[in-house]
Every structure is written in C-alpha cells, then in structure tokens.
Amino acid sequence: MDFASDNTAGASERILDAILAANGGPASAYGEDPFTAGARAILSETFEKELVSFLVATGTASNALALGALCPAFGAVFCHREAHVMEDECGAPEMFTAGAKLIGIPGGAGKIDPRDLAATLAAFPRGPVKQVQPAVLSLSQPTESGALYTCAEISELAAIAHDAGLQVHMDGARFANALVALHCKPAAMSWLAGVDVLSFGATKNGALACEAVIFFDAAKAASLPFQRKRSGHLLSKGRFLGAQMIAYLEDGHWLGLAKTANAQAARLEEGLRDAPGVRRVWPRQANELFVILPRETDAALKAAGAHYYEWSLRTLDPDVTPPAQNEIFVRLVTSFATLDEDIERFVAVARAKR
C-alpha cells in the first residue's frame, strides 16, 4: 500500500519495451539520434506547434534549466511560496540562474491568486538598481497541494505576467494528470494560455527517467544546449530518453496512464469519505489526496504496511481547522500502477471500528 508518491512506482512496460527496442545497434550520441528526433516530432505534434524540446532525466534539471534560460542572475522568479522550485530542489533554480531570487507568493491550495500576483509585481517595479528585476512567473500545474489552474486561470495569470514584462514557466511534473482531469488539450493548457516554457514531466506518470524542457518560442532556447551540457545533463546515450518520450506519447499512452492514476485517487477519496474521523483538506482534482487522519487510524494503517508522507502544516489554508493533538495531516498519491486491492485494503483499515 504505497501512497508516498507517484515516483515510487516502476515504469510502464510499454516504455521499458521501447527502451529495449532502442538497444539494438549503434546510434549517434548526444541527442543526434533518430529516437531524439522522433521525440521532438511527437512533442510538436502533441502540442500542435513547432516547438523546441530538450530531454533530461529529472524534473529538477528541467525546471532549473528552464528558469536559467529565462531569468538573468539579477532577476526574480515569482512562484507560489510552497512551489517545488522554492522548497524541494536544493537551490537548483538559484544555481542555474547564477543567483536569481525566488519570491514566494502565498495562496490557497498552492494556487496563486491574480490579485496577489498583481500586488506582488507592483512591489517589484522594473528599474530600481537596488532591487532584483522581475523576470519570470513560474506556475505549478497541478500545485503542491494537488489543485489545478483552469486554462482560463492560467491565461489570466500569464497575461498579468506578460503585461509586466515577465515570461511564464510551467512546472508540469504532473502535466498529464492535470490535463486529463481538466479534459483539455495540451496546447490549451500551455502555449495558448500564455506559457512560454514548460517542464513536461513523464517520470512520475510511467517513464523510467524522462522529462522535456519545452520552448514554444525557439528564440528563447538559444542558451539551453550549452547550459544543459555544462551542467552535465546532456546524456551521451540520448536515444534512451528519446525512446521513452516516444513510447510515452504514442497512441495516447500517457493519457491512459494518467487517467488510471486519477481514477485510483478518486476511488481512494470515495472510500475514505465515510471513514470515521477522516477529514479531506482539499477536494481532490488529479492524483493527490490530502487528508487529516486520527492518529489511531494512522497507526493502524502504518501497522498494516501503508506508506505515505506527513504533510507540512504550513500548506494548510487559514479556513482549515488544523490537526488536533490526536490527528495527523498526510498526503496520499496514486499512480498508473496503483492496485485496486491496495486501495481496498487501505480503505478497509481506515474504516475499521477501533
């Protein structure tokens, strides 16, 4: 019963098969191979735009390289104060931008409110030499609290950012989960909504290790090949990244994987609905569920072998009654590989009389 994260799952068999199939014979190194070219083509087709893409092996590299391309060393990146780039990347964005400042904006369910963005940007005018210069808005879709921005909300935030001269980055480590939950097209949730650069995740949704940094405007990508190599993120056997991305996107495989992950989270949410003392913190939108559990239930679940993380109380919105002494706030994540029987067992333990 592993609900710790969607990267505790292995890789999809189709993707592993594609890696094996790419293994025969030589192929040019450093991304000059036909698999990487194929990945570029299928990404452009998927997003209905001629885009420039770079494959890397981790989401942190993807975010940090993207921000490094968009933000000067004296610049500022605005993001939610709980964003992965802010809290979970050990300063990689700061390192790859050669020292830019990350500025956290508070907001319910990990979302940035347009009024808060506008107010924050008003406090960072362009020009004064004593202040970092506003450069990028980075949005996480879904957010760290598992919430989604609608395409209209992304457009509104992007318009505010663009009007203030900023560029817009999206951290899409779980892009597929958000996309299938919103029933929209990749283009609508990205470049059509004003996203300039996207960190497009595949690892959490079934790849072995593959993410794409996607530029919807080729001119902005000029420095990326050099920064990727310089930072050690250009794989010599790049064909294996290309093969993963092709298998991920081909025949809608990625959408099927994300639908399964989201459906499993919905089942878990439904099963916990009438479990005694279990409080749902935010409505589930994709494949992450945040609940407050009685400590007794938590102990019983752990004794039964369940894995999940306690979540930071800082992320709780002011309107949520925080956990009492005898309660604990946790995050439950499902993946394409979550088994029905694991959900059933988890729910049965949570519902048991004790």
Ligand X SMILES: *Cc1c(COP(=O)(O)O)cnc(C)c1O
Tell which residue, 161, 135, 139, 162, has the closest CA to residue 151.
139
Question: Stretches 57-65, 248-256, 275-283, 328-336: which one binds ligand X (CB under 6 A)?
Answer: 57-65
What is the nearest approach in angstroms of ligand X to the Cβ of residue 55? 13
What count of other Cβ atoms lies within 10 Å of the Cβ of residue 118?
Answer: 14
What is the nearest approach in angstroms of ligand X to the Cβ of residue 171? 5
Residue 136's DSSP bridge partners are: 77, 167
Cβ atoms of residues 333 and 3 within 8 Å: yes
Q: Nearer to ligand X by C-beta: 286 or 350?
A: 286
Euclidean distance between the first and the last CA atom of the chain, given in angstroms as a whole number: 20
What is the nearest approach in angstroms of ligand X to the Cβ of residue 5? 7
Size of the site for ligand X (CB under 6 A): 10
Tell which residue, 211, 259, 254, has the closest CA to residue 53.
211
According to CB under 6 A, which one of 15, 18, 82, 84 is a site residue for ligand X?
A: 84
Q: Nearer to ligand X by C-beta: 58 or 131?
A: 58
Residue 91 neighbours by CB under 8 Å, 6+ apart: none
Question: Stretches 26-34, 58-66, 254-262, 321-329: which one binds ligand X (CB under 6 A)?
Answer: 58-66
Give yes or no for residue 231 binding ligand X (CB under 6 A). no
Residues 140-179, mask of contacts with ligand X (x by CB under 6 A): x------------------------------x-x------
Question: Stretches 53-61, 218-226, 245-253, 266-274: which one binds ligand X (CB under 6 A)?
Answer: 53-61
What is the nearest approach in angstroms of ligand X to the Cβ of residue 137? 15
Question: Stretches 52-60, 233-241, 292-300, 325-333: which one binds ligand X (CB under 6 A)?
Answer: 52-60
What is the nearest approach in angstroms of ligand X to the Cβ of residue 273? 26
What is the nearest approach in angstroms of ligand X to the Cβ of residue 204? 6
Give yes or no for residue 60 binding ligand X (CB under 6 A). yes
Give yes or no for residue 58 binding ligand X (CB under 6 A). yes
Give one DSSP letter per residue of 283-323, joined into a string: ---SSEEEEEEEHHHHHHHHHTT-B-EE--GGGS-TTSPPP
List, edge to edge, every strand of the sheet that includes 279-280: 279-280, 288-294, 327-333, 309-310
Q: Nearer to ligand X by C-beta: 10 or 165?
A: 10
Could you check whether the bond before residue 142 is cis, i.e. omega within 30 degrees of 0?
yes
Cβ atoms of residues 188 and 297 within 8 Å: no
What is the nearest approach in angstroms of ligand X to the Cβ of residue 63? 6
As a whole number of angstroms, the distance between CA 10 and CA 337 comes to 8
As a whole number of angstroms, the distance between CA 280 and CA 333 comes to 14
List, edge to edge, every strand of the sheet that includes 52-56: 52-56, 211-215, 197-201, 167-172, 133-140, 75-80, 101-105
What is the nearest approach in angstroms of ligand X to the Cβ of residue 138? 10
Tell which residue, 88, 83, 126, 75, has the closest CA to residue 106.
83
Q: Nearer to ligand X by C-beta: 54 or 124?
A: 54
Residues 7-26, mask of contacts with ligand X (x by CB under 6 A): --------------------
Binding site for ligand X (CB under 6 A): 58-60, 63, 84, 140, 171, 173, 203-204
